[in-house]
Structure 1
């Protein structure tokens, strides 16, 4: 399988249902850190649920309605990025991200999102890329802002999760703005 270097021993690459055991081990390491924000990291609890999650994304990829990649550090899965929604008719998609605590603070999510948004905008013709995050998830909100997404608004108490109704911030970037955005490795 292919992979894209994110630098510093990190790579972005695909994952499939046959890698369920490795994915479950990663989710087990990430669960406490990501559980308050990333529902699948609470729901994937055994080999069957890991395989089902990965198969669901394999099916979405085959239908061109969703995409999933892992971030590996020195060969071990430490996080990932995805397009939870990928709608080629409206040319809109939604990014999702997660990491294990051991990989936080290295810029891996920023670099991985740059790659997948470049692909979505430049190769697939997406016009709008969205990022939804709980207002209480300050790391995610700061990352969206750092990547050049604009805050569109707040969906007040729209997401009930683990006994709490979260305000969800909607961030987005439009293709023309993404292409003009200065960043490392791009002039």
Structure 2
């Protein structure tokens, strides 16, 4: 899937090397907003760091790739969303996402996440989808709750942020619970 039209305002486009400059600029100009909950921000110091990330995603064979998408809102860069740590044996994947500050509060991530859930169940054959959010990141945790994910508990010290570990809330959604729209 190269592009996925979520609705009249939101489009997802498969991440490409040509997006690296825009992604880095978005991270760099939203650093204070993003780094509270996203540990990769502190390690993204130059455009080359973003280029290396993009290459790590796009250079993998399609059959092994965790697809990452640029989120476009009314034609403007809004953030990234994608699958990660896909387990093709057990048919499960995780969805991760982030938005730049000025794009928050518009329902973008809720709609984009729903589109990826639908695609994972209908086209990728997944059975289980996971979303992890830092404990206290209420805006991020509202997404899986809004979409009907089940809260499973906390992963203690599940993610390292600035030389400390934070706990993560774990949400899951099973194919048998899903109803495509």
* Residue 117 of structure 1 pairs with residue 117 of structure 2: yes
Aligned to 2:95: 95
Distance in 2 between residues matched to 1:62 and 1:148, nearest whole Å: 29
Q: Which moved more, 1:54-63 or 1:88-97?
A: 54-63
Once the two structures are TM-superposed, the CA of residue 43 in structure 1 deviates from its matched residue by 2.0
Q: Is the 8 A contact 2:39 2:162 kept in 1?
A: no
Distance in 1 between residues matched to 2:17 and 2:75, nearest whole Å: 18
Once the two structures are TM-superposed, the CA of residue 158 in structure 1 deviates from its matched residue by 2.9
Distance in 2 between residues matched to 1:41 and 1:159, nearest whole Å: 13
Unpaired stretches in structure 1, ≥5 consecutive residues:
181-185
> Which string of whole-angstrom CA distances, capped at 9 and with x for unpartnered residues, describes residues 135-157 of structure 1?
11111111111111111111123
Aligned to 2:41: 41
* Residue 71 of structure 1 pairs with residue 61 of structure 2: no
CA RMSD in angstroms comes to: 1.9
Secondary structure of 1:179's partner? Answer: coil
Unpaired stretches in structure 2, ≥5 consecutive residues:
none
Secondary structure of 2:111's partner? Answer: helix
Aligned to 2:160: 160
Once the two structures are TM-superposed, the CA of residue 32 in structure 1 deviates from its matched residue by 1.7
Aligned to 2:174: 174
**Do the aligned partners of residues 35 and 74 (structure 1) sit closer, same or farther apart at CA in structure 2, a change above 3 Å counting?**
same
**Do the aligned partners of residues 107 and 98 (structure 1) sit closer, same or farther apart at CA in structure 2, a change above 3 Å counting?**
same
Once the two structures are TM-superposed, the CA of residue 60 in structure 1 deviates from its matched residue by 4.2
The two structures have a TM-score, normalised by structure 2, of: 0.90
Q: Is the 8 A contact 2:158 2:167 kept in 1?
A: yes
Secondary structure of 1:106's partner? Answer: coil
Secondary structure of 1:66's partner? Answer: coil
> Which string of whole-angstrom CA distances, capped at 9 and with x for unpartnered residues, describes residues 37-61 of structure 1?
1222332221211110101111346
> Which string of whole-angstrom CA distances, capped at 9 and with x for unpartnered residues, describes residues 57-82 of structure 1?
11346342411001112333111211
Distance in 1 between residues matched to 2:153 and 2:100, nearest whole Å: 28
Alignment of 1:1-150 (within 5 A): 2-7=2-7, 9-60=9-60, 62-150=62-150
